[in-house]
Amino acid sequence: MAQIVRYGAYLPRHRISVKEIQDFYGRPGRPRSRTLATPGLDEDPLTMAYEASVATIGHDGAELGALIVASQAPPFGLRKFSATLARALGVSGADHFDLGAHPAGLLDGLALADALVAAGRGPVLVVASDHLVAYEERVADMLSAGGAAAFLIGGDGGVAELGAERRASEEVFDVWRLGTEPEARYRLEVLFGTYGAVAKTALAALEEATGRPAGDYASVAASQPHPQTLRALGRLGVGKEQLAGTSFVGEIGNLGTASAGFALALALDAAEAGQHVLAFGYGGGEGIAREIEVTAATPDSGAAGMIEGQAISLSTYYRWTRGRQVEPH
C-alpha cells in the first residue's frame, strides 16, 4: 500500500459570523455554524491549493510523478486546475489530473494516487481545495467556507499507510448544479438521510475487510457539510471522542472538497504511531471509507491553530463574496 509521506493544510484567516447573516435576513433559529472561514479578495481555490501544497512539499516539486487536484470550484473554466497549480509550484514533468464536482474528491484522489504509486509513477501530490459560494441568505444553509489540504503520497518513508477502502452509493440529488447555473441547489433533508445510509454500508464493508469496527479507530476524519451529518456517524458506533479533534463545521463551516482533507490533517497531527485513523468522504450520494495506519511520528501541520481567525463585518463579507458564484474575483 502507498503511504502518506507529508501533508499540509490552509485556511483563510477571515471569519464572518453566521448569526449576523441570519439576523440581517430575518432568519430565526440557532446558527448551524458559529463562523465561516472566508477567503479574502486575493484568495480563491487556486491560491489556497498553492498554500497547502507549499506547506507540504515546499517549493521543490521536481520529484513529483503526478499532481491531482480535487475541487468543486476551479478558478478557471475549460482549463486544468492541476496544470495551472503545477506551473505555480514550478513542477515540471508530472502528470496532471483534475477531479471535480464531488465533495469526496480527496478520497478519490487518494485512491488514484495509491494506484499510480503502485504502478511506479509516484510520488503523487493530492490536493483538495474549495470555496463553493452560496447566494445571499442561502449561505446560512450551505455554510459556504473555503480551505485546502494537500497530501504527498509515496511508496516508502511515510508517516501513515493507506489501508483498505470500501464504497457505497445511492442515486440521489442532495447538492447539485445544473449546466451554467451560478450556484448549487440543495436538499438538506436528502443530504442528512443519504449521508447516514451510505456511511452505514461503507463502514460495515470496511469492518468486514479489516476486522476493525468504527468505534475502534483512534479518530475519525469525515466530510462534514453540516453538523447534523456527523450525528449520523454517532449512530454507527463512532464516539464523540473520535470526532472531538477533527470536527470543525460548527466552528468554521463547510469546506466542500477540502472538508475531509482538513479533518484528516487534524487527525494525523494528533495521532501516534500504531494507531489507526478512519477517513470518510461523502458527496452526491456516495460514501467512501478508508483505513489509515499511522506508522511513524507525524509532523504538526498546525491545522488546529488555523481554526480561530479574524472577524470581518457583514458588509466586508458581501463585498468580497458577491459575484463569486458567477465568476471568480
Q: Does residue 59 surpass a pLDDT of 90? A: no
Please confirm whether the linkage preceding 45 is cis (ω < 30° from 0): no
Question: In a 3-state reduction of DSSP, which class is residue 90?
Answer: coil
User: Is 83 a domain residue?
Assistant: yes
Q: Does residue 305 surpass a pLDDT of 80? A: yes
Regarding whether 119 and 220 lie in a shared domain, the answer is: no
Regarding whether 201 and 154 lie in a shared domain, the answer is: no
Q: Which amino acid is at 50?
A: Y
Regarding whether 210 and 271 lie in a shared domain, the answer is: yes
Say what angle helices 227-234 and 188-210 make with each other, to 10 degrees. Answer: 40
Tell me, what's the pLDDT at 136?
82
User: Is 234 a domain residue?
Assistant: yes
List all residues 6 or more positions away from 176 whose beta carbon is below 8 Å from its beta carbon.
184, 185, 186, 284
pLDDT band, residue 326 (cuts 50/70/90): low
Across the range 81-106, mean pLDDT stands at 93
Q: Does residue 181 surpass a pLDDT of 90? A: no
User: Is 301 a domain residue?
Assistant: no
Tell me, what's the pLDDT at 101?
78
| Comparison of pLDDT for 63 and 44, the residue scoring more | 44
With residues binned 3-state (H G I as helix, E B as strand, rest as coil), the percentages for the chain, rounded to 5, are 35, 25, 40
User: Is 154 a domain residue?
Assistant: yes
Regarding whether 273 and 219 lie in a shared domain, the answer is: yes
pLDDT digits (tens, 9 = 90+) for 186-235: 898 999 999 999 999 999 999 999 999 999 999 999 999 999 999 999 99
Regarding whether 143 and 218 lie in a shared domain, the answer is: no
User: Out of 26-30, 243-247, 296-300, which region has the weakest mean confidence (pLDDT)?
Assistant: 26-30
Cell for 124?
503523487
Looking at the 3D structure of the chain, how many domains does it have? 2
Q: Does residue 180 surpass a pLDDT of 80? A: no
Across the range 297-309, mean pLDDT stands at 96
Q: Domain range spanning residue 121?
A: 3-159+306-321
User: Is 242 a domain residue?
Assistant: yes
Average pLDDT, the chain: 93
Regarding whether 150 and 7 lie in a shared domain, the answer is: yes
How far is the C-alpha of 67 from the C-alpha of 122, rounded, in Å? Answer: 9
Regarding whether 194 and 265 lie in a shared domain, the answer is: yes
How far is the C-alpha of 112 from the C-alpha of 126, rounded, in Å? Answer: 9
User: Is 300 a domain residue?
Assistant: no
Tell me, what's the pLDDT at 62?
67
As a whole-number percent, the residues of the chain with pLDDT over 90 amount to: 82
How far is the C-alpha of 264 from the C-alpha of 260, rounded, in Å? Answer: 6
User: Out of 92-101, 173-182, 309-318, which region has the weakest mean confidence (pLDDT)?
Assistant: 173-182
pLDDT digits (tens, 9 = 90+) for 103-149: 999 999 999 999 999 999 989 999 999 998 888 888 888 999 999 99
Regarding whether 201 and 132 lie in a shared domain, the answer is: no
Across the range 258-274, mean pLDDT stands at 98
Regarding whether 170 and 155 lie in a shared domain, the answer is: no
Provide φ and ψ at 171, rounded to 5°: -85, 95
Terminus-to-terminus CA distance in the chain, angstroms? 41
Cell for 43?
484568495
Tell me, what's the pLDDT at 102?
87
Regarding whether 165 and 154 lie in a shared domain, the answer is: no
Distances (CA, A) of 106 to 94, 153, 171, 183, 203: 19, 12, 20, 21, 18
Regarding whether 239 and 199 lie in a shared domain, the answer is: yes
Q: Which amino acid is at 146?
A: G
Tell me, what's the pLDDT at 328?
45
User: Is 328 a domain residue?
Assistant: no
CATH number of the domain at 50, please: 3.40.47.10
Regarding whether 138 and 216 lie in a shared domain, the answer is: no
